């Protein structure tokens, strides 16, 4: 197996591209895929600042590293969720990465700053942990980017996006389909949100980290077990195994040919948004979902 670019011995093959690469050419390939995603979807310009939401995992650290390598002003954001040892370890990986590169890491700790943790919030509100977590992260990522004037970047890869799309299509969740776009525009109270890793798969981001010597957290969050999206990923992987390229064709075919049939991508939600009485974030209720979750969870 020879590298497609330089004909040296290859270290990784990517079946959907029908290509193999040596180490240095693979790193070049990853950067080019991110550069293309940023350009194709006009995610941000060279003079804009990007806040990368990092979990300490392979995708978010690979994204941060690639953006720094491409010369962007990219800072990190770590939100402490209070999920026991997992949170302790993931925070350490994020801090170590930032420390080695002397990059700036913004930290928000939910237990210290809001007086609750994700497992406790899930119990108090009778939600599954990932629901309380997703709601909290969505709110705090947006707030951190908005307050500091950043574009928010997340490490969703093509495997993640195809699994979410698969789940939405199975139920024809029109509202979710309308928001499934690699760029959500900024609007009143909402920062712009971008997903520059959509042209890379998770096997590629893992290999990128290994080749770059990035020490990422390998353990999954304990709440990921049995998560619906993991099940969708497994189903799609079985299809991909038989027919390489199907997953990317499914996702990019949706973006290119189908997504415009649903409402245009917008960072805005329903039209009747007003400021949350507690934190000022846009909401359709008197108090936003995050503040109401925090009140219930903190009041236990």
The residues binding ligand Q46 (CB under 6 A) are 118, 129-130, 133-134, 221, 223-224, 227
**CB closer to Zn ion out of 20 and 135:** 135
If one asks whether residue 292 binds Zn ion (CB under 5 A), the answer comes out as no
Query: From Zn ion, ligand Q46, none, which one binds at residue 253 (CB under 5 to 8 Å depending on kind)?
Result: none
If one asks whether residue 291 binds Zn ion (CB under 5 A), the answer comes out as yes
Structure tokens at 290: 């995050």
- Please give the span between the terminal C-alpha atoms of the chain, in angstroms, as a whole number: 59
Are 56 and 89 in contact by the 8 Å Cβ rule? The answer is: yes
Radius of gyration of the chain (CA): 19
CA–CA distance, 119 with 274 (Å, rounded to integer): 29
Q: Which of residues 139-178 bind Zn ion (CB under 5 A)?
A: none
Q: Which of residues 223-282 bind Zn ion (CB under 5 A)?
A: 276, 278-279, 281
CA–CA distance, 110 with 125 (Å, rounded to integer): 16
**CB closer to Zn ion out of 191 and 288:** 288
Query: From Zn ion, ligand Q46, none, which one binds at residue 121 (CB under 5 to 8 Å depending on kind)?
Result: none
- Residues 6+ away with beta carbon under 8 Å from 53: 60, 76, 77, 79, 137, 141, 152, 153, 154, 155
The closest of 149, 251, 166 to 200, measured between CA atoms, is 251
**CB closer to Zn ion out of 29 and 139:** 139
Quote the least distance from Cβ 176 to ligand Q46, whole Å: 16
Are 132 and 122 in contact by the 8 Å Cβ rule? The answer is: yes
**CB closer to ligand Q46 out of 136 and 283:** 136
Quote the least distance from Cβ 113 to Zn ion, whole Å: 14
**CB closer to ligand Q46 out of 225 and 238:** 225
Query: From Zn ion, ligand Q46, none, which one binds at residue 30 (CB under 5 to 8 Å depending on kind)?
Result: none
CA–CA distance, 112 with 114 (Å, rounded to integer): 6
Query: From ligand Q46, Zn ion, none, which one binds at residue 50 (CB under 5 to 8 Å depending on kind)?
Result: none
Quote the least distance from Cβ 119 to ligand Q46, whole Å: 8
Total residues contacting Zn ion by CB under 5 A comes to 6
Structure tokens at 52: 């990368």
Query: From ligand Q46, Zn ion, none, which one binds at residue 288 (CB under 5 to 8 Å depending on kind)?
Result: Zn ion
Query: From Zn ion, ligand Q46, none, which one binds at residue 180 (CB under 5 to 8 Å depending on kind)?
Result: none
CA–CA distance, 54 with 57 (Å, rounded to integer): 7
Place of tokens 């038989």: 242
CA–CA distance, 255 with 293 (Å, rounded to integer): 33
Which residue from 43, 288, 294, 297 is in contact with Zn ion, where contact means CB under 5 A? Answer: 288
CA–CA distance, 162 with 198 (Å, rounded to integer): 9
**CB closer to Zn ion out of 12 and 276:** 276
Quote the least distance from Cβ 114 to Zn ion, whole Å: 11
Quote the least distance from Cβ 277 to Zn ion, whole Å: 8
Q: Which of residues 48-67 bind Zn ion (CB under 5 A)?
A: none
Q: Cα dihedral sign for 223, 226, 228, 231?
A: positive
Give me the residues that bind Zn ion (CB under 5 A), please: 276, 278-279, 281, 288, 291
């Amino acid at each position: 197996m020879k590298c497609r670019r330089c004909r040296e011995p290859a270290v990784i093959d990517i079946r959907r591209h029908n290509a193999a690469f040596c180490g240095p050419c693979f790193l070049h390939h990853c950067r080019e895929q991110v550069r293309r995603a940023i350009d194709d979807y006009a995610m941000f310009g060279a003079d804009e600042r990007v806040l990368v939401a990092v979990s300490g995992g392979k995708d978010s650290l690979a994204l941060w590293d690639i953006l720094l390598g491409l010369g962007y002003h990219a800072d990190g954001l770590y939100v402490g969720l209070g999920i026991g040892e997992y949170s302790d370890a993931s925070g350490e990986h994020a801090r170590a990465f930032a420390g080695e590169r002397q990059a700036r890491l913004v930290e928000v700790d939910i237990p210290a700053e809001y007086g609750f943790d994700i497992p406790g919030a899930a119990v108090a509100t009778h939600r599954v942990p990932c629901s309380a977590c997703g709601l909290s992260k969505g709110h705090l990522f947006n707030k951190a980017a908005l307050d500091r004037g950043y574009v928010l970047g997340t490490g969703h890869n093509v495997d993640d996006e195809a699994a979410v799309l698969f789940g939405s299509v199975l139920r024809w969740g029109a509202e979710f389909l309308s928001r499934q776009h690699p760029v959500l525009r900024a609007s009143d109270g909402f920062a712009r949100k971008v997903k520059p890793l959509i042209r890379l798969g998770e096997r590629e981001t893992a290999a990128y980290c290994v080749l770059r010597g990035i020490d990422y957290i390998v353990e999954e969050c304990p709440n990921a077990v049995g998560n619906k999206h993991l099940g969708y990923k497994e189903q799609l992987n079985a299809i991909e195994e038989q027919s390489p390229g199907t997953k990317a064709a499914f996702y990019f075919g949706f973006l290119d040919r189908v997504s415009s049939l649903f409402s245009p991508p917008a960072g805005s939600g329903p039209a009747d948004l007003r400021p949350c009485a507690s934190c000022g974030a846009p909401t359709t209720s008197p108090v936003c979902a995050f503040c109401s979750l925090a009140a219930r969870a903190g009041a236990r």
